Amino acid sequence: MEAIEAIMTRRSNRRFTNEMPGKQEIGKIIECGRQAPCGSNSQSVHFVVISDQKVLKDLAEIARDEFSKMEVNEDTYVSLRNSILASKRGDYVFHYGAPLLIVTANKKGYGNAMADSACALENMMIGANALDLASCYINQLHWLSDNERIVSYMEAIGLEKDEYITGALALGKAETLLQKEKQITGNPVTWVG
């Protein structure tokens, strides 16, 4: 699939099969992330690639447990509110059971940490779509990036002490792959000249 088509037809997929994508495909997607632009060519995005299903289950359980302790009010950001309410119901798996989760981390105190990570995540999503794989940007671990249990678990599997979680990508094969252009009604464009 050529680049423009891969960008235009990329959609967030939230239903995955258990099947793990091939090692070569996974490697290519990670390389797409590593090739992303980054401030001052800092190359400090750290990709923690989790294919261990026990680790994915543990992370889902810890996140559910920690979200369920939180309260919502009228100021709670809508997606966070959904995560908290679903966790309180007890049936919440933030990564949708995808067989692979790529967690991005970056240096604490680095001003471009989030921007660099977002560029890497987008490159990986486009790469995944080009390979007919399903992906979805996942923000819950970032929201829990100050949470002691999540941090200590993540540090045990590779997060460095001077890093924090900036985002994540659920990756796998889709039950039904969503690949279509959508009508964009927001994102205004102002032309000058």
Among the listed residues 36, 132, 137, 158, the single contact to ligand FMN using CB under 6 A: 137
Paired strand residues for 70: none
The least CB distance from residue 176 to ligand FMN, in Å, is: 14
Residue that is written with structure tokens 């680790």 in the block: 55
Q: Residue 119 interacts with ligand FMN (CB under 6 A)?
A: no
Q: Determine if residue 65 is left, alpha or beta; phi over 0 gives left, psi from -120 to 50 gives alpha, anything else beta.
A: alpha
Report d(CA 166, CA 71) in Å as an integer: 23
Among the listed residues 29, 103, 138, 174, the single contact to ligand FMN using CB under 6 A: 138
Nearer to ligand FMN, 78 or 156 (CB): 78
> DSSP string covering 4-29, please?
HHHHHTB-B---B-SPPPPHHHHHHH
Q: Residue 15 interacts with ligand FMN (CB under 6 A)?
A: no
CA distances from 31 to 36, 113, 149 (A): 9, 18, 30
The least CB distance from residue 32 to ligand FMN, in Å, is: 16
The least CB distance from residue 1 to ligand FMN, in Å, is: 16
The least CB distance from residue 70 to ligand FMN, in Å, is: 15
Of 25-33, 35-43, 53-61, 137-145: span binding ligand FMN (CB under 6 A) = 137-145
The least CB distance from residue 71 to ligand FMN, in Å, is: 19
DSSP 78: H
Q: Which amino acid is at 169?
A: L
Which residues of the shown chain bind ligand FMN in the complex (CB under 6 A)?
A: 11-12, 14, 79, 136-140, 182
